[in-house]
Amino acid sequence: MTIADNGRSELLARINDLLAAAKIARENRKKKWLRRGAVIGAFTASIIWWSMGLSFLVGLASFMAVTLAIAFIAGLIGYSHKPETQKQANALAQNWTHEQLDGQFIRNANATPQAREVLAIKFLPSFDRVNCADLFIHENHWSIGLHLEEQRTETTTDSKGRTSTRTYWVSLFRGRVYCLAAPVDFDSTIFVMPRGVGARMDKQSYSNPAFRKKWNVFSDDGVTAHYVIGPLVSERLVKLKDEDNRLERIAFHEDKLFLAVENHYRPSYGAKNYNFTMENLEALKDPFLLGVEMWHKIWPGRDLAKAVKELRERVG
């Protein structure tokens, strides 16, 4: 076992000790709130019984129902509270992940330059409200968790002709956007969007039928778009979409590459059943690396460097 393995083992032991303490604390808090709820429920049920003058059987039944219901709700409230030891365990796992990746982590990324940049490109769905979960910056790439919502209004009419209006929020995108540095500036913008989604730029046509069923390509430079999204890349995009449907949208913008990955909003630093293993500790890095892995499947680094070089020679 290496020094690094020893360090991880010690970290796992500390995390699991904290999680075990958190489990005990949550159970004790739940019992405490259950007792409080039972007292409040019994008092409330007694007032109802007395004020309504119920018979013995009806009153007893209502007494038990009200007492148990309030006790149950109170127990849920007590159990939902996250103990300090659980927060400490999550923080240890979080810090380890960032140290291993040698990156910078920003918990609330709403006001960051990266958030403004990715929203300004306009390759994501149009939205009315946005929340940025976090931002991870690592060498020549970064990833940000985004939740985009749209406000909608619905008007209904009942059988008596009365109308009512309700306003609600609909989630449009909840995932991560990865930004990677390209070898050179493409001097253009290319969007690879889901089938049926439009864009502000000219639409490009492709001969690959499997590709056309899954993707649309829009660009302000058709020559560059056809060279960048060539036959090999289009085949890889089809294969990746079949393997992992989370890849939602791609943008080539100047000297950067953007990948939007659905259902990948915020890394989870908790542990199921209050137990961490070496595997799920390592797996915490995945939310920050998945986009990079996807991109290498679509366009390996050497392929990209070669294609960009040839592109620059061709279009000057």
Q: What is residue 247's predicted lDDT score, i.e. its pLDDT?
A: 92
pLDDT computed for residue 3 by the predictor: 40
Average pLDDT over residues 194-222: 86
pLDDT beyond 50 at 219: yes
DSSP string, 177-237: EEEEE-SS--SSEEEEEETT---SSEEE--S-HHHHHHEEEEES-HHHHHHHT-HHHHHHH
Q: Looking at per-residue confidence, does 167 or 62 come out higher?
A: 167
Average of pLDDT values for 197-215?
A: 85
- Buried b / exposed e along 116-147 (16+ C-beta atoms within 10 A): ebbbebebbbebeeeebbbbbbbeebbbbbbb
* 309: pLDDT strictly greater than 50: yes
pLDDT at 14: 92
**Domain spans, the chain:** 3-85, 102-146+175-315
Between CA 244 and CA 108 the distance in angstroms is 28
Q: Name the token pair of 115.
A: 């958030």
Return the pLDDT at 115. 94
Of 125-134, 165-174, 302-311, give the lowest mean pLDDT range.
Answer: 302-311
Report the percentage of the chain scoring pLDDT > 70: 94
154 vs 300, more confident? 154
Report how far residue 95's alpha carbon sits from residue 141's, in angstroms, rounded to the nearest whole number.
19
Q: Higher model confidence: residue 161 or residue 218?
A: 218
The pLDDT score that the predictor gives to residue 153 is 92
Once rounded to an integer, what is the mean pLDDT over residues 116-138? 91
Q: Look at residue 1 in the predicted model and tell me its pLDDT.
A: 39
Mean pLDDT computed over 195-201: 78
Q: CA neighbours within 13 Å on the CB side: how many for 11?
A: 21
Average pLDDT over residues 105-133: 91
